[in-house]
Every structure is written in structure tokens, then in C-alpha cells.
Amino acid sequence: DVKVTQSSRYLVKRTGEKVFLECVQDMDHENMFWYRQDPGLGLRLIYFSYDVKMKEKGDIPEGYSVSREKKERFSLILESASTNQTSMYLCASSATGNGNTIYFGEGSWLTVV
Amino acid sequence: TQLLEQSPQFLSIQEGENLTVYCNSSSVFSSLQWYRQEPGEGPVLLVTVVTGGEVKKLKRLTFQFGDARKDSSLHITAAQPGDTGLYLCAGGMEYGNKLVFGAGTILRVKS
């Protein structure tokens, strides 16, 4: 079974703090993704990566950055957290050519106060 | 921009009833995935369909990919309370590795 693991399930951070969300996958997938999910807005793509050290902006990259130093790990960084970044964050991975099928982690609930 | 319209948004039914959820687009997709998500958890893959006209069955769930690969449906027979959750469809773009997600259908099955 594909396993996508997000390091933190629940976080509470203060406005202005730097926040790291870590994600690891164990299936040697080339592609990794970060989404946020908000009521009424559905899943929105923040950033994705198709190879080590490669990244591309998704639909809502503002206020976020990412890092992919190793194939299995994809980190989402909030340089200066704001209250409008309170959300559920979902990491996912996929293998190139596998019908675009992506596999999600369990999610990280971030509250910025 | 490719859009995937999912309907209905909400569905509340009694145990034992049948239901169908639809995903429609004017765009052609290379594949179509269906996911189920429970509150506080990540979406879990149910099925991937890749061929126009393809039908896949998963116990009481039947998934169909339209002949033109622009639409898909999920049919649940004899729904049970355990089927309650958010159902998401997602279309694979012809080029690249990204998915386009529908807005989701919240299903509640009452016992």
C-alpha cells in the first residue's frame, strides 16, 4: 500500500511565526503535491514538484514556499503565518504515467491565532 | 481552465436507498479518480478509470467513465451509514501530472 505520512496532524501557531509542514512518501513517486482544503472552496493546489529540487506553483502559491531536497520528502513552508492560512493541509504523491492517480496523506490541521 | 462540475452538493438519504453522484466537464480527461473522505482525514482513493465507457465495481459502488471521457458517475446501491462522507471526483489532465478536482458531494446516510 502507498503510504504518505504528514508529520503533524494538529498545529497551533501564532501570527508571524514560520511554519514547516513535512511530508514523506514511501513509494518512490516522482510527483508530490501540497493542497489546502477549506469549506466551500474545495481542494486547491498550492505547489507541486515533479522531481528533486524542482517545483511549480499551483493555483494559490502566495504566502507559501516548498522544498524538495530528497525524492521522498516534500516540505511546505509558511514564512510568516497569517490567520487566513488556517486550514487543512493535504500532501499527496503520484507516479508519473499511473493514470495521474494521486495518494493523499491524512492531513495537517493548522490553526493560526 | 478545465473545470469539473460535481452534483449534487449534498445528499441525505435513508439506509437502503440507491444514489448517483455525477461529475461533468466540457474537457476531455485522460483519467478519472473517485475519492472518499471522512471528517478530519485525507481523501482515500476508491477507483481510477482510464478508458472511455469503462465500468468498475467495488462491492456496492459502481463507477462509470463516459464514452467521450468528459464525465463520470458513481452509483451506490443500498446505501449504508458507513458510506457517509465526502465524495470527490478528480480528472487527470491530458498533459502533465496534475488533477482537476470537483467541489465534492457530502453524503449522509441515516439509519
The 3-state DSSP class for residue B105 equals strand
Average pLDDT over residues A82-111: 91
A72: pLDDT confidence band, cut at 50, 70 and 90? Answer: very high
Give me B41's grid cell.
Answer: 482525514
Residue type, A63: G
- A106 contact residues in B (CB cutoff 8 A): 41-42
Percent of chain A whose predicted confidence (pLDDT) is above 70? 96
DSSP A50-85: SSTT--EE-S--TT-EEEEEETTEEEEEESS--GGG
For residue A85, pLDDT beyond 80: yes
Distance of CA A73 to the CA centre of its chain: 10
Write down the pLDDT at residue B2.
Answer: 60
Residue B3: pLDDT band (50, 70, 90) is confident
> Does residue B1 carry a pLDDT above 70?
no
Whether pLDDT at A105 is above 90: yes
Q: For A30-61, what is each residue's pLDDT tens digit?
A: 999 999 999 888 899 999 999 999 999 999 99
Under 8 Å between Cβ of A65 and A77: yes
Q: Which residues in chain A are closer than 8 Å to B98, comparing Cβ atoms?
A: 33, 45, 48, 58, 100
pLDDT of B88 strictly over 60: yes
% of chain B beyond a pLDDT of 90? 85
**Cα(B72)–Cα(A110) distance, integer angstroms:** 33
Residues 6+ apart with CB under 8 A from B63: B34, B46, B47, B49, B55, B56, B57, B72, B73, B74, B75
Average pLDDT taken over every residue of chain B = 93
Reply yes or no on whether the pLDDT at A98 is more than 70.
Answer: no
Q: A7 φ, ψ to 5°?
A: -65, -35
Using the beta-carbon criterion (under 8 Å), do A107 and B98 form an inter-chain contact? Answer: no
Q: How long is chain A? A: 113
Chain A neighbors of B45, CB-CB under 8 A:
101-104
pLDDT at B98: 81
Nearest to A92 by CA among A45, A56, A57, A53: A45
Supply the mean pLDDT for chain A.
Answer: 94
